[in-house]
């Protein structure tokens, strides 16, 4: 018995902006990613390996704001954040603001397994990546046309913005995406394996036109990523500053541990009762020790897919 949930970002995903062709592409990508993680768990694999495989797959897909499809910074580069955590022993690894690393989630795992640290940032993290033989890619690999266009628009407007969407299907893209200041990206996965262990992984390019080394919630353990076998595994997506300030992922675990709430109830309290009143737009995916899955969001949509312990599968956007 195992459970898996994944997300490809939450935010304003207007139905009018998503052509049938692009929606089909997103659904296919989510379905593929679910199959990747399910194959690991179905073959008796560990939750950690399942979330790693799922998030690595999503990082390679230009549709999502992580890895290859990451958004542009103010300086026209890509600064990637990623984190993972294992529920059995609360080990964790994370990287923030790394450039040129092909799969930041794999670097986060190297931090967890081959360093004595939890979070490495910037040039230091890149030096560690080189020392460990992690795969790098040049700027061309990360140059996705729509991301570049979003960056030019954000720069011209002088704003920092959260983006989802893709430039991999230029023919199918709408001429202008609605409400660009409120779009988000990021990918993540949570799993419970057949041995009862939980794991979570999250990866993002952050916000378009970000500068000054801005880091969001994704690589911060307890904010965007969390796992503890006693309670739950959580991966968040949304306006990172709010998720940091409200310690969203850990708060869900706390509500379960200290107040005895169910996973679904804890998610509802945090995503709707706490974040909505303060304008903290976004969502998350979570799985508990029994394999229950929750996928709450307070935004218009969240790219997501799941497979429950009972074997039910789904893919959804709205």
Residues catalogued as catalytic: 186
Q: Strands across the sheet with 293-294, in order?
A: 225-227, 232-238, 282-288, 293-294
| Least gap, CB of 244 to ligand ASP (angstroms) | 8
How big is the chain by its Cα radius of gyration, in Å? 18
| Least gap, CB of 206 to ligand ASP (angstroms) | 4
Q: Is 238 left (phi over 0), alpha (psi -120 to 50) or beta?
A: left
| Least gap, CB of 214 to ligand ASP (angstroms) | 8
By C-beta, is 206 or 291 nearer to ligand ASP? Answer: 206
With H, G, I as helix, E, B as strand and everything else as coil, classify residue 31. helix
| Least gap, CB of 7 to ligand ASP (angstroms) | 9
Q: Which residues pair with 221 in a beta bridge?
A: 225
By C-beta, is 42 or 167 nearer to ligand ASP? Answer: 167
Supply angle C-alpha 121, 72, 150, rounded to 5: 155
Greatest pairwise CA separation for the chain in angstroms: 52
Task: Please say whether the beta carbons of 99 and 67 come within 8 A.
Answer: no
- Interface positions with ligand ASP (CB under 6 A): 9, 65, 162, 184-186, 204, 206-207, 216-218, 224, 237-238, 240
The pair of three-digit structure tokens given for residue 92, joined into one six-digit string: 């964790």
The pair of three-digit structure tokens given for residue 199, joined into one six-digit string: 């794991």
By C-beta, is 227 or 284 nearer to ligand ASP? Answer: 284
By C-beta, is 3 or 73 nearer to ligand ASP? Answer: 73
Q: Report the alpha-carbon distance of residue 305 to residue 4 in Å, rounded.
A: 8
């Amino acid at each position: 018995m195992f459970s898996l949930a994944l997300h490809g970002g939450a935010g304003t995903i207007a139905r009018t902006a998503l052509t049938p062709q692009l929606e089909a592409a997103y659904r296919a990508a989510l379905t593929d990613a679910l199959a990747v993680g399910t194959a690991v768990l179905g073959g008796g694999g560990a939750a950690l390996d399942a979330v790693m495989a799922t998030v690595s797959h999503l990082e390679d897909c230009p549709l999502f704001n992580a890895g290859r499809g990451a958004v542009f910074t103010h300086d026209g580069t890509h600064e990637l954040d990623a984190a993972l955590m294992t529920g059995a022993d609360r080990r964790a690894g994370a990287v923030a603001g790394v450039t040129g690393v092909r799969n930041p989630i794999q670097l986060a795992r190297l931090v967890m397994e081959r360093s004595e640290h939890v979070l490495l940032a910037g040039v230091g993290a890149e030096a560690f990546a080189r020392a460990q033989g992690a795969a790098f890619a040049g700027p061309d690999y990360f140059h996705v046309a729509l991301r570049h266009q979003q960056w030019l628009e954000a720069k011209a407007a002088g704003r920092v913005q959260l983006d989802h969407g893709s430039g991999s299907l230029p023919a199918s893209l709408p001429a202008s995406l609605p409400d660009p200041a409120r779009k988000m990206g990021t990918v993540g996965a949570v799993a419970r394996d057949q041995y009862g262990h939980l794991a979570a992984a999250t990866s993002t390019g952050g916000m378009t036109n970000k500068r000054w080394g801005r880091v969001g919630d994704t690589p911060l353990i307890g904010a965007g990523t969390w796992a503890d076998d006693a309670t739950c595994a959580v991966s968040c997506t949304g306006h990172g500053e709010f998720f940091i300030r409200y310690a969203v992922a850990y708060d869900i675990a706390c509500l379960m541990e200290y107040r005895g709430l169910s996973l679904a109830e804890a998610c509802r309290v945090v995503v709707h009762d706490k974040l909505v009143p303060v304008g903290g737009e976004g969502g998350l995916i979570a799985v508990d020790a029994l394999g229950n899955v929750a996928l709450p969001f307070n935004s218009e949509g969240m790219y997501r897919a799941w497979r429950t312990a009972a074997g039910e599968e789904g893919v959804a956007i709205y």
